[in-house]
Structure 1
Amino acid sequence: MEKRFDELSQRIGRLENAFTQFSETLIMLLESKEIFTSGEALSLRKLMRAILPYSSSKYYTKEVYERLKQLLDKDAYEYTLDDIEQMYEIADLIEKEGRESKRKDLIEYSHKLRFFALVAKVIFVYPKILGRTPAQPKHSNNRLKKREKRSHVDQ
């Protein structure tokens, strides 16, 4: 019986990994086509900060809460892979706290935090690794082009 449980657990783990990889690839595709830009990612970060649940006691401590606040308040263009990994670790702690305390809000937030960490990795970290700038919101690109035109006219 234990062997079957272990096999089932492994299969669920592979399914979770496949879903994560699919999501990351989809976000990468949308980012490369400038459909999902830094503007959307920044809006998502703002939402994550606004709905940040208060700390509990056992796993999602006040210190963990404060660290997450620091990460969400940090300039997203300065995110590192270490920051992203910390978000995933905090999401695990929040989920564990939610399951043990039966707080549905914590469980739901942990999933949202993982999604944001994935988005932040694709939008803000990967471009730096690849030596390019994150895709900007279309309205920002239009403003930049207008400024460039004006500066050429002024010269």
Structure 2
Amino acid sequence: MINTTQPSTRRRLNRTLVTLACLILTGAVFWQLLPKGSFSNDLARVGQGQATLVMLREIHVMGGDMVLAQMLQIHPEFAHVMEFLVVHTGHPDGQAFARDHSLSDGSLVLFDAFGEVLGRSGRTESPEALREFIAGHLKS
């Protein structure tokens, strides 16, 4: 007598494992696309009595995520003197902000307490470069 159930059981197990692996991979990709920080996107905060650093984020472009990580790293040093905001191009306010300031993913605009632009920067290369950009413009 030939046992025919073993190959179909193995095939079902393989199919289940492949499906599970695909779900895990898809979940990991979506996890990476989630915002990494909890910075506000409320542009109404600009010019409200505190300096503000605004970063433009385009979710479908890689690079701004590095600047966001840098912002998260230096945030504790500057949180008492300035506000950190991240605006997304997926929102009309973010699109208008990008257009008004000619920005691309990861670009930064530093505003003074009255909403005047102190400086602009493309993607910074390191937390130290971001720290220097902020400190250099806040002192002027």
Please identify the structure whose Cα radius of gyration is greater: 2
Q: Which has the higher strand share?
A: 2
Name the structure where helix makes up a greater proportion of residues: 1
TM-score by length of 2: 0.28
**Normalising by the residue count of structure 1, what TM-score does the alignment of the two structures yield?**
0.26
